[in-house]
Amino acid sequence: MNTSVFKFRLIAILLLISPLLHAQNLTLSRQEMLDLTPKWKGERFPDGRPKVSDDLLKRLKRVPLEQAWGVLRAEGYTHQYEKNWKNIREGEVLVGRALTAQYMPLRPEVREKLEEQGAKAGRKGDMVSWPIDMLSMGDVYVADSYGKIDNGPIIGSNLGTAILSKSGNGVVFNGAVRDLRDLEAMPGFTSFVRGDHPSYQQEMMLKAVNVAIRIGPVTVLPGDVVLGHLDGVVFIPPHVVERVVKTGELVLVRDEFGQIRLKEGKYTSGQVDARWTPEIEADFAKWISANPGKLPFSKEEMQELLKDRTW
């Protein structure tokens, strides 16, 4: 066997067995979290998870998915969107910081190790409750339960109540819930799931919390910011959130200005819907100066966004 083939096979074997070698490690260390999210320079939770500000989360609720998607693509993040969800509270918007969890089909010896480690760490109750105990206000519980529906619900109304109480939000589950009518009746529990079932989770185990997980085509990291509308969800890397918010706010204000000028008959739809001429840009800048409360950031920042725009 030549050296390159041997090295390839060795790496493949290590990748396969490393989850079992570290099965007892339910979550990342602070240093591992820092290494996983090196572009975030702001505040962090004690465990190292990025903590995007409450102000940006609040402002993000107004940003359309299309604008967020456009900024992400321009920043090189081309796999951040997943659709075809069941939205538990249709018409509402979900925004928050991701706390991630990875579920896997049961393997008894692995679950035994995980439960031993959980007990040493002081975790209480069944492992399905452990991620909920770790939630903070403004979080979104994001779990990959590998799309399991029958015997797959990892929460019902009781755990849903606990989630809402601790985070102020609902969930994003690549899997199922139970007690759907009760969850739908909970104001603020805006959630995106694959389905619902009257059963409960069986033959499953919680493998890890606050690690990188896969949701459809998306790699979701702890601290990513969730934005969910209608049947779609985008997962925004924390260091890109501010740009997404400011770009979205600018686009909304430019749309408002364009619609005002269309109603006045000053410009045609073709002029407003195309790249604006210098004359229209000057008109917009003058309108912004006359309406300083329209944008929650400076004109200099606006000009920088316009200069670098890819939308």
What's the pLDDT tens digit per position in 70-114?
A: 999 999 999 999 999 999 998 899 999 999 999 999 999 999 999
Nearest to 89 by CA among 237, 189, 197, 223: 189
Q: 286: part of which helix (H) or strand (E)?
A: helix 278-290
Using CA atoms, how far apart are residues 240 and 69, in angstroms rounded to an integer?
11
Residue 9 has pLDDT above 70, yes or no: no
What pLDDT is attached to residue 311? 62
Q: What's the whole-number mean pLDDT along residues 281-290?
A: 94
Q: What's the whole-number mean pLDDT along residues 282-304?
A: 89
- Whether 176 contacts 196, CB under 8 Å: yes
What are the Cα distances from residue 55, in Å, to 1, 172, 222?
A: 58, 22, 19
Residue 253 has pLDDT above 90, yes or no: yes
Q: Would you place residue 308 in the very low, low, confident or very high pLDDT band (cuts 50, 70, 90)?
A: confident
Q: Give the predicted TM-score (pTM) of the model.
A: 0.87
The region of weakest confidence among 18-32, 134-148, 195-209, 270-284 is 18-32
Cα 288 to chain centroid distance, Å, stands at 32
What pLDDT is attached to residue 273? 93
Burial class (CB in 10 A: 0-12, 13-18, 19+), 119: exposed
Q: Would you place residue 15 in the very low, low, confident or very high pLDDT band (cuts 50, 70, 90)?
A: very low
Q: What is the largest CA-CA distance in the chain?
A: 77
* pLDDT over 70 percentage in the chain: 91
| Domain residue ranges of the chain, discontinuous segments joined by + | 33-63+77-236, 242-307
Residue 19 has pLDDT above 50, yes or no: no
Tens of pLDDT, residues 113-139: 999 989 988 898 999 999 999 999 999
What pLDDT is attached to residue 90? 86
Q: Would you place residue 300 in the very low, low, confident or very high pLDDT band (cuts 50, 70, 90)?
A: confident
One-letter amino acid at 27 equals: T
Residue 36 has pLDDT above 90, yes or no: yes
Q: What does residue 87 show for φ and ψ, rounded to 5 degrees? A: -90, 115
- Whether 241 contacts 98, CB under 8 Å: no
Supply angle C-alpha 84, 88, 89, rounded to 5.
115
Beta strands in 111-269 (DSSP E): 139-144, 171-174, 176-177, 192-193, 195-196, 204-209, 213-215, 218-220, 225-229, 232-236
Nearest to 211 by CA among 32, 10, 4: 32
Using CA atoms, how far apart are residues 256 and 1, in angstroms rounded to an integer?
67
For the chain, give the mean pLDDT.
91
CATH top-level class of 33-63+77-236? alpha beta
